[in-house]
Amino acid sequence: MNRNDVTEMIVAARIQKGIKWADVAKKVGLSKEWVTAGCLGQMTFDKKQATTVGKIFGLPAEAVALLQVVPYKGSLPTAVPTDPLIYRFYELISVYGTTFKELIHEEFGDGIMSAIDFKMDMKREPNAAGDRVNIVMSGKFLPYKTY
């Protein structure tokens, strides 16, 4: 059994039991974004969190142990994603990538937005012309330093 197997067990159990990610997050006591990423094999749970997740999805002890080990990250099967929902995010980088770069450098100088010290919030934004997906990302700016 490896972490990938644990992800598949969680995904299957979720469908069978009709569990919602938002409810899992509430029981774990953290944001739905982070908890879902963890359940999908991208984050590391501590012992208590892993036990909670294990109970929710009915996982065996070995799976609960694996949830506490740092996984090899990367959740997509190809460099350019084929799924339309995920591709749209890739397209945003393709089209707006240099814009992100120019504006962040204009505001902060040389450096990056951290993808580690990072958090994010996804919510529904009601709108008469059709509801909108609203995503707020917040990552620490890390400047390149001279030495």
93 Cβ contact list (under 8 Å, min separation 6): 100
Q: Return the structure tokens found at 104.
A: 């962040």
Vertex 132: Cα angle to 130 and 136 (nearest 5): 170
Least Å distance, CB 23 to a second copy, is: 10
| Smallest separation, CB 55 to a second copy (Å) | 19
CB closer to a second copy out of 55 and 122: 122
Helix (H) or strand (E) holding 124: strand 111-125
CA 13 vs. chain centroid, Å, equals 19
Shortest distance, position 81 Cβ to a second copy, whole Å: 6
Radius of gyration over every alpha carbon of the chain, rounded to an integer in angstroms: 18
Catalytic machinery residues: 88, 91, 114
Taking the complex as a whole, how short is the minimal distance between the CB of residue 44 and a second copy, in angstroms? Answer: 4
Confirm if 38 and 10 have CB atoms less than 8 A apart: no
Instruction: Round to whole Å and give the CA distance between 89 and 135.
Output: 11
* Both structure tokens of 4: 């990938």
Measured in degrees and rounded to the nearest 5, phi and psi for residue 110 equal: -75, 130
